[in-house]
Amino acid sequence: MAYALQQLINGISLGMIYGLIAVGYTMVYGIIGMINFAHGDVFMIGAFIALTAIVMLIGGGLLEGPAAILLVLAISMAFTALYGWSVERIAYRPLRGSFRLAPLISAIGMSIVLQNFVQVSQGARVKPTEPLVTGGITLMREGDFVVQLSNMQMLIIATTLVVLAIFTWLVTRTSLGRAMRACEQDRRMASLLGIDTDRTISLTFVIGAALAAVAGTLYLLRYGVIDFYIGFLAGVKAFTAAVLGGIGSLPGAVLGGLLIGLIETFWSAYFSVQYKDVAAFGILVLVLIFMPTGLLGRQDVEKV
Amino acid sequence: MSQPRKGMAAALRDAALATAVAFGLFVIMVGLRTDVAPSGALFLRTRWPDVALLCGLVFAGRLVMSLWQARPRAPAAPKLGGTMQRAGRALGPALLAAALLLPFTPGIGRYELDLGILVLTYIMLGWGLNIVVGLAGLLDLGYVAFYAVGAYSYALLAQAFGLGFWVCLPLAGILAAFWGILLGFPVLRLRGDYLAIVTLAFGEIIRIVLLNWTDLTGGPNGIGGIPRPSFFGLPFNMSGEPGTFAGFFGLEPDPVHRVIFLYYLILALALLTNWVSVRLRRQPIGRAWEALREDEIACRALGINVTTTKLTAFALGAMFGGFAGAFFATRQGFISPESFTFIESAIILAIVVLGGLGSQLGVAIAALVMIGGFELFRDLEEWRMLVFGTAMVVIMVVKPRGLVGSRTPTVALGERRAIGSEHVQEGRG
């Protein structure tokens, strides 16, 4: 029981990170109907920028405590957003109206570029960091087993909730959000009504990348070890989350993220750690084959 | 870019803007490098000159690009199309002749032959994947799984039952084709991009299983001591006895014999792949593939059986992947899951994409340039994938049909014309 509760806590905090990345996939899919294969690598870039900022600020002794973490988050979001914008501008915008697989192939290329750019510029070795946020509270004891909710996990959950609240406000209450939703429903009609669709799409990528940067920063703080390859697995899992929740649906992405996080954690806890990625990939396959609209998605109508 | 003409000032402003963005991109990721100190802590190393260099390159590049786009357009120059096409037609046979004669060219040693084998392996894989991606329009991101199935089938069959290479080769192909059908069957209903992700997932699942099923596959240690091929029963070794290759033909025993044999083996396998796909393109099934690539809904409306059409493409592509895998296993003598990662799939896909999605010659040239070209610059190894990725993006942006890609329909009503990429609107893949 205590063991399961601990897994639940771990699963939720992991799922929050997946959810943040999944929002980026689902937004882009909703608005331009393509899988942004490079999104996982944008997440990885976010983690690297956060790492550099941490080494600079905290290692340099400039700042400490919560203020430092907030600043690291802000730096990572700002610079990663620039990456998101550039990726769209370079690799996807020229391909509007090209054949269907072209943006996907371009996205795969972009993913390879980002990974190897980081490998060349930052080195292939893993980067370990000291944990910044330590301690926690004990929720329950059962014999020798202690159920802990660490401060880091609380930070992850709190940050994610705040960021998602801001994001929800942005999408539902601002004119930008309205423009985004309009583009999602019918891009050509939106542009006829005077919405700058290119700008809206760019901003979608910027927002998605900023959320991925939050995820990257939290991932770095939580796990403490990153390398240039983390984006691939995290990206596939977050994509699975987006599909599971129903691609195109924002609450679905968060829900899917939580589910994937929980499934992965419980699978590793009760079945086998070696095959935990198989669990995620297996869910992806099963969902796409049997339930392509996901939990909260809309039915796609195929038109000629 | 939107205005047809731009002045120098506008171009400069544009370039300055691009440079500002580039500065933002590179200032942290290139300018500051985190390194692990001997104590285990991280420290920063600054590299401002590199940032300045990159920003300068972006500025110059962007400026040249805007000026080039704003140049006054001359009336269309007389096209070089005719000569280019004639040159292209001669290029294939020329490459083939060069490939056939390579082992006997003076100055070609073991290293060059090994490189040739590597390039030919990728050409074969590219041609195999071309059936799936280029002809049938099904984007397969897990192609390396079939390569792995072929390699492991050969290794396990040869070790467990003592079967020779020539028995195992078709078996490996059949097994891989079987896996192709098995994996292809559930994904038939999926649209192009979903299909791509599912094949990626399948590829990774197979790799993880290979990695963890230690009893069968040896796990991360792989399988070693895989039997080397024999010349139709005559083994290659240095003893020179009558039962060996050198002894039978009365030659001086030389380790290069086996390399030459392997070279011709993969050349033959690659040519077989090419021959089969070129032939099949002219048959109803090949035409159905091309039709499927262009518009699946129209295909269905015309009564083409989409299920069998897709499955045959998957199975055939997988079969050639399996052949290549068996060859890889016998050539290396050792295989492990590390050889079958997603990156490998991405490289093969990149070759097909750069070759122009459907062009046989294009795939060969792309493999030659991207695999062979980079082997010549060994110290640039870590830049290779960067160039691969950039090339994929650039090709998609500039010439989505690939470098050699003008798409000639196999059947045409009346006059046969090449259709330029700008006129082809592709349906749902």
Q: Quickly tell me which residue has 């050509």 as its tokens.
A: A188
Higher pLDDT among residues B425 and A114, named by residue: A114
Query: pLDDT tens digits for A216-249?
Result: 999 999 988 898 889 998 999 999 899 888 888 8
Torsion region of B140: left, alpha or beta (phi above 0 gives left; psi -120 to 50 gives alpha): beta
Determine which of A29, A45, A116 to mutate to test the interface with B (most B C-beta atoms within 10 Å): A116
As a whole number, mean pLDDT of residues A288-297 equals: 81
Per-residue pLDDT tens over the stretch A12-25 = 999 999 999 999 99
- SS3 at position B174: helix
A35 vs B197, B346, B382: nearest CB: B197
Average pLDDT, chain B: 82
| Residue A124 CB neighbours (<10 A) | 12
Q: Cα A222–A228–A234 angle (5° rounding)?
A: 55
Do B119 and B367 contact (CB within 8 A), yes or no?
yes
Domain ranges, ordered by start, for chain B? 8-69, 97-230+257-411
Classify each residue of A25-48 as buried b or exposed e, where b means 16 or more C-beta atoms within 10 Å of its C-beta: bbbbbbbbebbbbbbbbbbbbbbb
What does the pLDDT read at residue B246? Answer: 73
Cα A46 from Cα B110, distance rounded (Å): 46
User: pLDDT for B157-215, tens place per residue?
Assistant: 988 888 888 888 999 999 999 999 988 888 877 777 788 888 888 998 999 999 888 88
pLDDT of residue B75: 54
Nearest to A82 among B24, B211, B392 (CB): B24
* pLDDT of A214 strictly over 90: yes
What is the spatial distance between Cα A14 and Cα A7, in angstroms, rounded to a whole number?
Answer: 10
Mean pLDDT of chain A: 88
> Residues B121, B125, B128, B132: what is their CA dihedral angle, to the nearest 10 degrees?
-170
Is residue A97 within 8 Å of A28, Cβ to Cβ? no
Which are the contacts of A82, defined by CB distance < 8 A and separation ≥ 6? Answer: A209, B21, B24, B25
pTM > 0.90: no
Residue A44: per-residue pLDDT: 95
Tokens of B302: 């015309």
- The per-residue pLDDT for range B310-364, each reduced to its tens digit, is 999 999 999 999 999 999 998 888 899 988 988 889 889 888 888 877 788 888 9
Residues 6+ apart with CB under 8 A from B74: none
Residue B50 has pLDDT above 60, yes or no: yes
**For residue range B220-249, what is the model confidence (pLDDT) as tens digits?**
888 888 888 777 777 777 776 777 777 777
Find the CB nearest A232 among B40, B342, B349: B342
| Mean pLDDT of the A123-132 span | 82
Backbone angles phi, psi at A123, to 5 degrees: 90, 155
**Residue pair A56/B46 in contact by the 8 Å Cβ criterion:** no
CB-defined contacts A:B, below 8 A? 188
Are B24 and A104 inside 8 Å of each other by CB?
no
Mutation target to probe the B interface, by most B beta carbons within 10 A, among A76, A202, A288 is: A288
The reported pLDDT for the residue numbered B375 is 76
pLDDT of B69 higher than 80? no
User: Residue B138's closest chain A neighbor by CA?
Assistant: A101
Contact residues, B window 29-48, toward A, CB-based 8 Å cutoff: 29-30, 32-36, 40-44
Per-residue pLDDT tens for B133-157? Answer: 888 888 888 899 999 999 999 999 9
Give the residue from chain B lying closest to A29, CA to CA.
Answer: B193
Task: Report CA dihedral (A40, A45, A50, A56) to the nearest 10 degrees.
Answer: 160
